[in-house]
Structure 1
Amino acid sequence: MLRWIAALCLLCLPAAAAEEQVVLGLSQDRVSITANFDGSEILIFGAVKREAPIPPGPPLEVIVSVVGPSEPVTVRRKERKLGIWVNTDSVLVDSAPSFYAVATSAPFNDILTDTEDLRYRVSIERAIRSVGAAMHIRGAQEFADAVIRIREAEDLYSIRENTVAVDEQTLFRTSIEMPADLTEGDYLARIFLTRGGEVVSQFETVIDVRKVGLERFLYNMSREQPIWYGLMSLAIAIAAGWGASTAFRLLREK
């Protein structure tokens, strides 16, 4: 009889953990890109909904990630030959997010195991997928690393450890800074609750990033009517050059 009771208790433990769910809030779910847009900061906050008391054991940790639209990227290696730099090998990185920010409530490796990272693709390295490179290309992984290194330098990729505040294992909040040169599209915000390195719950929502006003008109025109867009750009350049030369001539005459 005691063995049956112990078995039932063990079965109830995962169920209790699964009762922890995210209730999320965003300071804004839409980012408008205008002529004077110089970046945005999004406050992400929420609470943990439970049907049972906080389970014993490791404390609850929170991971928040914001992922921009992904696209293939061809990375080329340059080498110096005969005194000049030339492209040699190239590798297609199948999917690289245009923006990727991860905020955590503790050091990343302490709150998420490598197995869970592989399953959910949370870290920057796991978020980038690369197709198989040709056998003759040496150091194929270096091409994916180059994408990460370049975009980290541009503040497009970042891991911000210890930036998620968690109160009483129930309330959490953080802010994600988004740069000025955002790619238009849907940005996926993901929240993971972890205990002992294992994901116990996750939640996803979308942040809409769009050009508005004149930027939207010019963007659509460049895609849908490229000939007219080119002619308009040429006319503006000619008019600006003529206006500048006229202004300088009048200044010299005075």
Structure 2
Amino acid sequence: MRMGALHKWAIAAFLALGTAPALADQLVTDLSEHKIAIRSNFTGTQILLFGAVEANTPGERALDRDVIVVVTGPSRAMTVRRKARIAGIWVNHDSLVFPRVPSYYAVASTRPLEVTAGIDILKREQIGIDNVDLGTPKAQAMDGREEILPPDDEASFIKALIRNKKREKLFISDPGGVTFLGQTLFRATVDIPANVPVGLYTATVFLLRDGQVVDAIASPLYIDKSGLERFIYRLAHAQPLFYGLVAVLGAALAGWLASALLRER
């Protein structure tokens, strides 16, 4: 009886191992730098994100996968206003407040996003500018009253927000921006414009196979002002009243010096 039970247990274990799913492919990634210092001569830069795909099946090419890189800046509330012509004058009419707008969002991929995965996967992982969760917006009329906008009007505000961010080069989309170097190695460069906000950023790399995310790795990226710019920035935010007084006194002193030099001439 014992041998029979042991034999059955061994067969069951063997069948379980044989039907167990294979381990998923894995990513190994890193950034060229994890901190960017903004000085007075900062005109923008690029970060290099590189890595490798460790395929689970020996001899299988990593080129059969898709890699997507997403760099996201700190989120903050943002108001989008729509102008209307009233009595011949263009004024701010309606406005929509989005509670969670990334201050910076860049996405690069091996192929266009629409062919790498379905819309449900892209929305779940917030991959792609159009799939970012901006929170529940609140609409306000010109007199400050809250109102409910039709879906078409709300969509037009979202398009305007994305259009403005792209114009400022703070929303970037680069299909084909991730390239493979050989069988497993890949790289991507992401532009950081001069007007990039400071804060803690996140660089996330997604590995997809057959339209499904099989692995993801997130790395921190810190962007901060440095030197005198850092002192002025922190003073303006920590002690705005004192900063305003210093700015007014500095402007008055500069004006007095300029007038004194002109009188001497």
TM-score range (shorter-chain normalised) is: 0.7 to 0.9
Deviation at 1:32, TM superposition (A): 0.4
Can you give the 5+ residue segments of structure 1 that lack an aligned partner in the other structure?
A: none
Deviation at 1:197, TM superposition (A): 2.0
Show the counterpart of 2:212. Answer: 198
Whether the 8 Å CA contact 2:62–2:184 is kept in 1: the answer is: no
Q: 1:157 aligns with which of 171, 178, 192?
A: 171
CA distance in 2, matches of 1:48, 1:162: 17
- What is the aligned-residue RMSD (CA, Å)? 2.4
Could you say which residue in structure 2 is the equivalent of 1:23?
28
Structure 2 unpaired stretches of 5+: 1-13, 140-146
In 2, distance between residues paired with 1:185 and 1:133? Answer: 26
Equivalences for residues 19-168 of structure 1 within 5 A: 20-53=25-58, 59-133=64-138, 136-138=148-150, 139-168=153-182
Name the CA distance, whole Å, in 2 between partners of 1:54 and 1:116.
28
1:186-217: per-residue Cα shift (whole Å, max 9, x none)?
Answer: 11101011122221111101101111111111
2:91 counterpart letter in structure 1: V
Structure 2 CA distance for aligned equivalents of residues 136 and 25 of structure 1: 45
Shift in alpha-carbon separation, 1:204–1:59, aligned structure 2, 3 A: same
Q: 1:84 to 1:54 in 2, by over 3 A?
A: farther
**Larger-gyration structure (1/2):** 2
Matches of 2:27 and 2:154, distance apart in 1: 39
Equivalent position SS for 1:140: helix
Identical positions, percent: 37
Q: What is the number of equivalent residue pairs in this alignment?
A: 244
Mapped contact 2:99–2:137 kept (Cα < 8 A)? no
Aligned partners of 2:157 and 2:222: how far apart in 1?
A: 30
Once the two structures are TM-superposed, the CA of residue 239 in structure 1 deviates from its matched residue by 2.0
Contact map agreement 1:89 1:137 (CA 8 A) in 2: no
Secondary structure of residue in 1 paired with 2:231: helix
2:7 corresponds in structure 1 to: none
Cα 1:218/1:57, change in 2 over 3 Å: closer
> How far apart in 2 are the matches of 1:207 and 1:149?
25
CA distance in 2, matches of 1:124, 1:26: 22
TM-score by length of 1: 0.87
CA contact (8 A) 1:61 1:166 kept: no
1:106 aligns to what SS in structure 2? Answer: coil
Cα deviations by residue, 1:122-174 (Å, 9 ceiling, x for unpaired): 11122141415566423112212211100101111011011111134411101
Amino acid at match of 1:96: V
Closer, same or farther in 2 for the Cα pair 1:245/1:140, shift >3 Å? same
Answer whether contact 1:44 1:174 (CA < 8 A) is retained: yes
Change (3 A) 1:189 1:161: same
